[in-house]
Amino acid sequence: MVHRSTLVAVSTAQLAAQVAGHVVAVRRRRHFDVPLMTGSPEHLVRDWLWFGTAYSGPPYLLGLQLWAIARLLGGPDDRARWVLRWLGTGLTLGYPSERWNRVRVSRGGLDLLETPIVATGWSCAMAMAVLARR
């Protein structure tokens, strides 16, 4: 069984990538853009409240992730592990659905600031989904 501390470390790194992604998205006006739904640069903050930005999830998901990490810091917690597993799974599928994430990990779209944020967030999301399994 994977140590709780490893899951906490990976989940914390993923959360940090999302916070950094949020700051970059707001400064660079990177609204969410997924199939069938697109935000707008003019309503970036409003859209973030419900759908997130190009590089971060909405605040209610970030809060849920923070809650689960805090619970695991206190000791073993199956509910927190379950939450991180499903958040990791959702984020693993969500990263490639976002247009700006696909651009930033493609050969011609590398950016010194945005690409590492996307790569860290996506890889940590995959690790969260795997490590949180029982």
pLDDT tens per residue, range 90-113: 999 999 999 999 999 999 999 999
Other beta carbons within 10 Å of 116: 14
Residue 2: is its pLDDT beyond 90? no
Alpha-carbon gap, residue 54 to 99, rounded angstroms: 8
pTM: 0.93
Note the pLDDT tens digit of each residue in 44-88.
989 999 999 999 999 999 999 999 999 999 999 999 999 999 999
Note the pLDDT tens digit of each residue in 5-22.
999 999 999 999 999 999
The total of structural domains in the chain comes to: 1
Q: Are 122 and 101 spatial neighbours (Cβ–Cβ below 8 Å)? A: yes
Domain with 84, as residue range(s), is: 4-131
Alpha-carbon gap, residue 28 to 22, rounded angstroms: 10
